[in-house]
Structure 1
Amino acid sequence: MMQATTINRESAAGANPASDAQNLRGAGNDMEMIKAASSLTRDLNAANPVIYWADFVASALTGYAALFAAIFAPSIWLCLLAAALSILALYRAGSFIHELTHIKRRDVPGFHLAWNIMAGIPLMIPSFMYEGVHNQHHMPKRYGTVQDPEYLPLALMKPYTVPLFVLVAALGPIGLLIRYALLAPLSLAIPPLRRIVVERYSGLVINPEFRRRMPEGEERSRWIALEIATSIWAIGLLTLTATGIIPLAAFLTFLGIASGTMVINQVRTLVAHLWENDGGEMNATQQYLDSVNVPPPATLPALWAPVGLRYHALHHLLPGVPYHNLGEAHRRLIGALPDASSYHGANYAGLPGLVKQLVGSTFKRGQ
């Protein structure tokens, strides 16, 4: 998130690419899987506006109601309980930013604007932070390379990078306040600073080498409008807190809950891929096998990987399928493809095993 980690790719220098070449390199394109994925899911590409609106609005309202409950709770235990509910609900609401990058505005009219008003601006993650960035993660020639804003070879890096990767996310809300309350206004008067802010601090990315281009045309107009609104919100929040209108405890509770959503998302990101690519280009099957599905019967992924994120590998195979249809797409492919199909190779049982695999890989390859 917003250059969410300062971990450098050079941390993977201890890995031996020759002897530790990942198994993914041996995978050829599984054309049977690719053709089946396309033919079996053609009727699942349409977004259902009712589902989008109901799910998002319910998540956002629940999150903010629980936030106020945490602020005014009469005991620490009720505060913690309400805060936990708020974190999960606002995390789910915020996760719709991923859907915004894939659905067309005409498919769910007004949804982009509503999301920004109800989640993007209050949580200081307006949609321009992801739109125009996430699509590069899906480009076949960029996935897993130094040009991919959402990829780091974590499995090949030093063991300390895993906890550091998560801990840095906890500071995300502070970084966002600095970006919108301080850097954004200053950058209007200092052109060199503006370029730095746009290139380095205007994307929810994990690759510190990624540099974003300056926005143009309609993208620039939307960007500026959302950035101004978010800056006003951030400045207002700090001003009202400094003047005592918003109690410091309430402000810190908000920051804590926002931090919680970012930590969960960062943990989810840890297991969204196997992170075993050393920078070379990968074919479609290799990209799929480097990604992760955590399908049923596992139940907890519905909380830590909501809005279809539990089907991350399937999403890379079928990026046009909306989140609410990914479960059905998965069931069809599981039923149609033989056990020898590559499709089964990206399905995992749950979070603990994936984290253990990643940490074990860092100790083997990143020493």
Structure 2
Amino acid sequence: MDISLTLERRDAASAGDALRGRLSSIADDKSMLRAAAELTRDLNPPSAAVYWTDLLLSAGIGYAALALAMTLGSVGWAVVASVVAVLALYRAGSFIHEVTHIRHASLPGFRFGWNVIAGVPLLVPSFMYEGVHNLHHARTRYGTIEDPEYLPLASMKPWTLPLFILTSILAPFALIVRYGVLTPLSLVVPGMHRVLVERYSSLSINPAFRRRLPEGEAARLWWMLEGACSVWAVTLIALVATGIFPLRMVAIALAITSGVYVLNQIRTLVAHLWDNHEGDTMSVTAQYLDTVNVPPPAFLPVLWAPVGLRYHALHHLLPGLPYHSLAEAHRRLSKALGTESPYHTASYPGLPGLVARLVRSTMGKRG
């Protein structure tokens, strides 16, 4: 049985690679899309108990481990605490993805709670993703120059990959400057606020992306969250400058938060195959084939692709499905759709193979 499954996956993967060579010409597989919608209707309601419990436990463990890492005398235990802090805070921070997709009426107070617990402390308020990530899911924007979260990485130069990772190491410093220095300056420097909104207020990877100024309720929420982040960043700067926050503890905290952003950047590298080299518009099925699932039996994706991100391709089929329903949705679709369905071609065994594939692509070697 194991052998047959392996062969089926290998054959499906080969078929998928053939299709991906012409992504822009792939029509939608209506049977797959229909099955995805019909078989998962009962999975749409989010569970407040699951969301709040997961967020509070992740953040609680993360902050406790962070405090231990900064105060423990033993280097060995401090390293262990640091690793736990990175993984737990990364999981808590990853809920920004859910905040962007859920209907707020179905989870009252969760967006506010997430911002208080993780968004503001980590200096990544929800407005940095809301109004941006939805463009990535737009049928006519995905993979194009108008997609804030897409670059044709598979056809770019090999040095772009390490640079892509290295930039995330500096993220904590950049965010402190963004909110602790530039936000206060934007109150007195004409035109600076517009520049901050357009170019430095998005969790995007496309350098050509410029976001619009917020309006109405979104603008009011933006100002509230930006103000809170600015107060927090200025406080951190003052605590360091006055010596209240010792440099050793500062270095540990910065290293841990850098680890969170690096881990997220690595996950971003393998979230897609980045094969839309020409930047053409694509069908939903083509977008699915350009995106990655890393389902069980692999265990490590629980750590590096938390909060449902291991089912990223499935998420592109069903962006409104809550993260805790994705595993069951994948089980149902895997069982209902035959091996000839393109659904099976988006599943991969793990991180090493995906990274290796991307590296080979940047070196001009497909596979």
Do both share a fold (TM > 0.5)? Answer: yes
Counterpart residue type for residue 331 of structure 1 = R
- Measure the CA separation in 1 of the matches of 2:166 and 2:356: 18
Counterpart residue type for residue 192 of structure 1 = G
Structure 2 partner of 1:135 = 134
Distance apart, 1:191 and its partner CA: 2.5
- Measure the CA separation in 2 of the matches of 1:31 and 1:170: 42
Structure 1 partner of 2:68 = 69
Counterpart residue type for residue 321 of structure 1 = L
- Does 1:193 find its partner at 2:211? no
Structure 1 partner of 2:86 = 87
Show structure 1 runs of 5+ residues with no match. Answer: 1-20
1:214 and 1:365, CA in 2 relative to 1: closer, same or farther beyond 3 A?
farther
Higher deviation after alignment, 240-249 or 263-272: 240-249
Q: Secondary structure at the match of 2:343?
A: helix
Structure 2 partner of 1:120 = 119
Structure 1 partner of 2:358 = 358
Structure 1 partner of 2:330 = 330
- Does 1:157 find its partner at 2:133? no
Structure 1 partner of 2:285 = 285
Query: CA-to-partner distance for each residue in 1:202-221, whole Å, 9 max, x for gaps?
Result: 00000000001001110000
Where do 1:260-271 residues align within 5 Å? 260-271=259-270
Counterpart residue type for residue 90 of structure 2 = Y
Structure 2 partner of 1:29 = 28
Distance apart, 1:253 and its partner CA: 1.2
Q: Name the TM-score, length of structure 2 as normaliser.
A: 0.93
RMSD: 1.1
Query: CA-to-partner distance for each residue in 1:291-349, whole Å, 9 max, x for gaps?
Result: 00000000000000000000000000000100000000000000000000010010000
Counterpart residue type for residue 46 of structure 1 = P
Structure 2 partner of 1:3 = none
Moved over 3 A (4+): none
Structure 1 partner of 2:6 = none
Q: Secondary structure at the match of 2:94?
A: helix
Query: CA-to-partner distance for each residue in 1:274-307, whole Å, 9 max, x for gaps?
Result: 0010210001110000000000000000000000
Structure 1 partner of 2:258 = 259
- Measure the CA separation in 2 of the matches of 1:306 and 1:23: 31
Kindly indicate whether the alpha-carbon contact (under 8 Å) linking 1:155 and 1:365 is maintained by their aligned counterparts in 2. Answer: no
Query: CA-to-partner distance for each residue in 1:203-262, whole Å, 9 max, x for gaps?
Result: 000000000100111000000000000000000011011101111111111111110000
- Measure the CA separation in 1 of the matches of 2:252 and 2:110: 28
Distance apart, 1:190 and its partner CA: 1.5
Counterpart residue type for residue 138 of structure 1 = H
Counterpart residue type for residue 353 of structure 1 = G
- Does 1:147 find its partner at 2:155? no
Distance apart, 1:54 and its partner CA: 0.2
**Aligned residue-pair number:** 346
Structure 1 partner of 2:301 = 301
- Measure the CA separation in 2 of the matches of 1:136 and 1:106: 21
Distance apart, 1:107 and its partner CA: 1.1
Distance apart, 1:365 and its partner CA: 6.8
- Measure the CA separation in 2 of the matches of 1:233 and 1:248: 18
Structure 1 partner of 2:318 = 318
Distance apart, 1:27 and its partner CA: 2.6
Distance apart, 1:94 and its partner CA: 0.1
Kindly indicate whether the alpha-carbon contact (under 8 Å) linking 1:134 and 1:150 is maintained by their aligned counterparts in 2. Answer: yes
Q: Secondary structure at the match of 1:229?
A: helix
Show structure 2 runs of 5+ residues with no match. Answer: 1-19
- Does 1:242 find its partner at 2:252? no
Identity of aligned residues (%): 58
Distance apart, 1:26 and its partner CA: 4.5
Q: Secondary structure at the match of 1:254?
A: helix
Kindly indicate whether the alpha-carbon contact (under 8 Å) linking 2:25 and 2:282 is maintained by their aligned counterparts in 1. Answer: no
- Measure the CA separation in 2 of the matches of 1:281 and 1:24: 9
Q: Secondary structure at the match of 1:191?
A: coil
Counterpart residue type for residue 236 of structure 2 = L
- Measure the CA separation in 2 of the matches of 1:202 and 1:191: 18
Distance apart, 1:85 and its partner CA: 0.2
Counterpart residue type for residue 362 of structure 1 = T
Distance apart, 1:115 and its partner CA: 0.6
- Measure the CA separation in 2 of the matches of 1:97 and 1:164: 24
Structure 1 partner of 2:5 = none
Counterpart residue type for residue 332 of structure 1 = R
- Measure the CA separation in 1 of the matches of 2:204 and 2:71: 35
Kindly indicate whether the alpha-carbon contact (under 8 Å) linking 2:239 and 2:245 is maintained by their aligned counterparts in 1. Answer: yes
